[in-house]
Amino acid sequence: MSEPTRVRVVVHGRVQGVFFRDTVRRVAREHGVAGWVRNRSDGTVEAVLEGERDDVQAVVELSKEGPPGAAVERVDVSDEPPEGLTGFEVA
């Protein structure tokens, strides 16, 4: 088992009202990634993802496309120190 990794992702574009958060939640849980996802007042979706590097990367890659109906313009990803999160929430 490798060292856990943590990233913060902010997704820009038409990403609210298209089941983006639920899609991120589902894929994160499938990959065993902990964290949370929420809509922000500026129209973006923000997520914190923590887990094995490859699993976290799979969720980041999903965020670059989103579910049908989404139109992702840009994804900002920043590394953060892991905090040992468990579970995944939609906020």
Q: Write down all domains in the chain, each with its CATH number in brackets.
A: 5-90 (3.30.70.100)
Q: How confident is the model at residue 19 (pLDDT cuts 50, 70, 90)?
A: very high
10 Å CB burial of residue 55 (0-12, 13-18, 19+) is buried
* Average pLDDT of the segment spanning 3-21: 96
- Per-residue confidence (pLDDT) for residue 3, from 0 to 100: 83
Q: Inform me whether the pLDDT recorded for 2 exceeds 80.
A: no
Which residues pair with residue 60 across a beta bridge? none
Residues 61/72, Cβ–Cβ less than 8 Å: no
pLDDT at 54: 96
Q: Please give the positions annotated as active site.
A: 21, 39
**Whether the model pTM is above 0.85:** yes
pLDDT at 66 over 80: yes
- Other C-beta atoms within 10 Å of 4: how many? 18
